[in-house]
Amino acid sequence: PSRPGCSKPHPGTGGQILVLGLDGAGKSSVLHSLATNQVKRSVAPTEGFNAVCINSGESQMDFLEIGGSESLRSYWKMYLPKVLLLIYVVDSADHARLPVAKELLHQLIQNNSTLPVVVLANKQDLEGAYCITDIYDALALSDIGDKRKMFLLGTHVAEDGSEISSSMKDAKELIAQLVLEVQ
């Protein structure tokens, strides 16, 4: 059976890149920017799933975002076993909910010691956004284990129209590279 997203699924692999994080963190906005190389903030919460296929160099990347609202979070772990890579997006300025974001991330990956994780500290443009070292501490990323590949990058999705930032290009290249390595 073919999955939504990529027209040519990779044979023999789960192949998906799961994109998770609390509601409003910016998952859809980041995916849109990565897909089009144009910045456009998403306007509506994802009510279920959002599948996006992106080609970058030799990699075909098959992203699946699951919405972050409370009712959808129960689906997150169901999709984990087959994925290549987890992208976890946080709103760097949402100080009040960083502890929840941390708990959910740790719960998700506790039984999978090798799944690579890319954490995107999004909304770095907002005044009051925590910097990367504060996000590292708030999410207790040092506890995540040294067996897995773990990356933490700051990103932001600017107002509509402009080209994507260099941080977003770096994120895209890193993800493409990881997909090649883990396949």
Question: Residues forming the annotated binding site for Mg(2+)?
Answer: 28, 46
- Contacted entry of ligand GTP, Mg ion, none for residue 17, CB cut-off 5 to 8 Å set by kind: none
Task: Identify the residue among 16, 33, 46, 122 touching Mg ion (CB under 5 A).
Answer: 46
Half-sphere CA count of 21, side-chain side, radius 13 A: 27
| Residues making contact with ligand GTP (CB under 6 A) | 21, 23-29, 41-42, 45-46, 67-69, 89, 122-123, 125-126, 156-157
Binding site, by residue number, is 21-28, 46, 68, 122-125
What is the tally of helices (H) and strands (E) in the chain? 5, 6
Nearer to ligand GTP, 126 or 180 (CB): 126
28 binds Mg ion (CB under 5 A): yes
Q: How far is the CB of 96 from Mg ion (least distance, A)?
A: 20
d(CA 93, CA 62): 28
Give the range of 25-33, 104-112, 136-144, 165-173 binding Mg ion by CB under 5 A. Answer: 25-33
Q: Write the single-letter amino acid at 169.
A: K
**Could you tell me the smallest distance in angstroms from the CB atom of residue 98 to Mg ion?**
19
Tell me the C-alpha distance between 91 and 100, whole Å: 12
153 close to 171: Cβ distance less than 8 angstroms: yes
Distance CA 24, CA 55 (A): 26
CB under 5 to 8 A by kind: which of ligand GTP, Mg ion, none does 60 bind? none
Coil, helix or strand at residue 168: helix
Interacting residues with Mg ion (CB under 5 A): 27-28, 46
